[in-house]
Amino acid sequence: MTEVGLLELRGLRCRFASRGIPLIAPGTTVHAVDGVDLTLAPGEILGLVGESGCGKSTLAKALMGLGDYQAETMRFAGQDIRAPLDRRPRDLLRRIQYVFQDPLDALDPRRSVLYQVAEPLLIHGLASGAEREARARAALRDVNLGADIEVKFPHQLSGGQRQRVVIARALVLAPEVLICDEPVSALDVSIQAQVVNLLRDLRDRRGLTILFISHDLGLVRHLCDRVAVMYLGRICETGPIEPLFERPRHPYTQALVAAIPPPHPRLRKPLKRLIGEPPRPGSPPPGCRFHPRCPLCEAACRTEPPALLPIVGAQHDGAQQSVACHVARRGEALPC
């Protein structure tokens, strides 16, 4: 990752502390995210995948300035953004916007769509009166919502319309980065496509940079340029989308890709399943965090955490595939 990123993250750690009892039992600290480096190039869509509890949402919150986090580097367009949400400059809040899973939670049930889309402009003091409404209308058009929607209330909209209203509300501030945490998981299949296509268009037309967090690998493969795979608070593999899905190097990525349901019954895969359950983040194993479930586990994996390092020769159009695995790094033949 040598390219200059719009958003750069180095050594991010996010903690959850459980309260202890003074003098008797010390509290415990769990690192939900434990040393993550991530770079978003301008205009790219980066997918962040992993199973529940892997820390992907915690990472998104840290980017927002929420939670108990620390980082060596957290930069946006060269500017240090390590400050928590309430101490971030207003302009920064405008330039990075967020979209969450459930649009109904994100919308005020008693305000009209137009008001809610215009409200960020009011809060940021960016436009007045008529201009504000005009820009809100433009944002609604950008997400393919017609004028009839303006006067409606959230409960009168479909799930896909609601999520597009949420996106319009983010877009009205003309952000440079959009962080989407499971933006389509609550939507029906026939509706998901609206939102996915919209995100793709926003990138293509406006050069919007998007972090797309999802557990749906099929959608990630369809939408994203690059992907980072998280397991128990660390990134185990990252790289350009097609090469990584074609030839995943990390045994966990291989298991994830193998578990994607086939798009057609004639493409049922011979089953090679990952054993065990995703462990709870409370007590991560030493060494490589995946080693207790790993079919390739060796002695070193149990003690030595592998670093995320580039794979020699795995470079595609300037994007580097990297893996954090002792075995894969040695270049031994991996079952794919």
HSE, CB side, 13 Å, CA atoms: give it for residue 313.
Answer: 4
| CA–CA separation, 137 and 145 (whole Å) | 9
Q: Which CB, 126 or 259, lies closer to other proteins?
A: 259
| CA–CA separation, 30 and 16 (whole Å) | 5
| CA–CA separation, 131 and 122 (whole Å) | 11
Report the residue from 125, 146, 263, 318 that binds other proteins according to the rule CB under 8 A: 263
Per rule CB under 8 A, is residue 205 in the interface with other proteins?
no
DSSP one-letter string for 248-305:
--SHHHHHHHHHSPPSSGGGPPPP-PPPS-PPPTTSPPSSSTTGGG-TT--HHHHHSP
Q: Which CB, 279 or 310, lies closer to other proteins?
A: 279
Per rule CB under 8 A, is residue 58 in the interface with other proteins?
no
Antiparallel, parallel or unpaired: β 45-49 and 7-18: unpaired
Which three-class secondary structure state does DSSP give residue 155? helix
| CA–CA separation, 165 and 117 (whole Å) | 7
Report the residue from 86, 91, 105, 277 that binds other proteins according to the rule CB under 8 A: 277
Judged by CB under 8 A, how many residues of this single chain contact other proteins? 45
Min dist CB 171 to other proteins, Å, is 19
Residues 6+ apart with CB under 8 A from 140: 113, 114, 117, 146, 147, 149, 150, 165, 168
Which tokens in the block code for residue 281? 């983040």
Per rule CB under 8 A, is residue 70 in the interface with other proteins?
no
Q: Which amino acid is at 55?
A: G
**H or E segment at 8?**
strand 7-18
Per rule CB under 8 A, is residue 148 in the interface with other proteins?
no
Which tokens in the block code for residue 26? 């010390």
**H or E segment at 69?**
strand 68-70
Segment interacting with other proteins, rule: CB under 8 A, options 63-71, 85-93, 108-116, 215-223: 215-223
Per rule CB under 8 A, is residue 128 in the interface with other proteins?
no
Report the residue from 130, 189, 299, 312 that binds other proteins according to the rule CB under 8 A: 189
Segment interacting with other proteins, rule: CB under 8 A, options 2-10, 34-42, 134-142, 267-275: 267-275
Q: Residue 180: what are its φ and ψ, rounded to 5°?
A: -115, 115
Per rule CB under 8 A, is residue 218 in the interface with other proteins?
yes
Min dist CB 196 to other proteins, Å, is 6
Antiparallel, parallel or unpaired: β 45-49 and 209-213: parallel
Report the residue from 87, 264, 312, 333 that binds other proteins according to the rule CB under 8 A: 264
Over its C-alpha atoms, the chain yields an Rg (Å, rounded) of: 21
222 to 261, contacts with other proteins by CB under 8 A? 222, 255-256, 258-261
Per rule CB under 8 A, is residue 197 in the interface with other proteins?
yes
Min dist CB 211 to other proteins, Å, is 19
Min dist CB 26 to other proteins, Å, is 12
Segment interacting with other proteins, rule: CB under 8 A, options 39-47, 90-98, 126-134, 190-198: 190-198
Write out the residues near other proteins by the rule CB under 8 A. 21, 24-25, 28, 51-52, 158, 160, 188-194, 196-197, 200, 215, 217-219, 221-222, 255-256, 258-268, 271, 273-274, 277-278, 280, 282-283
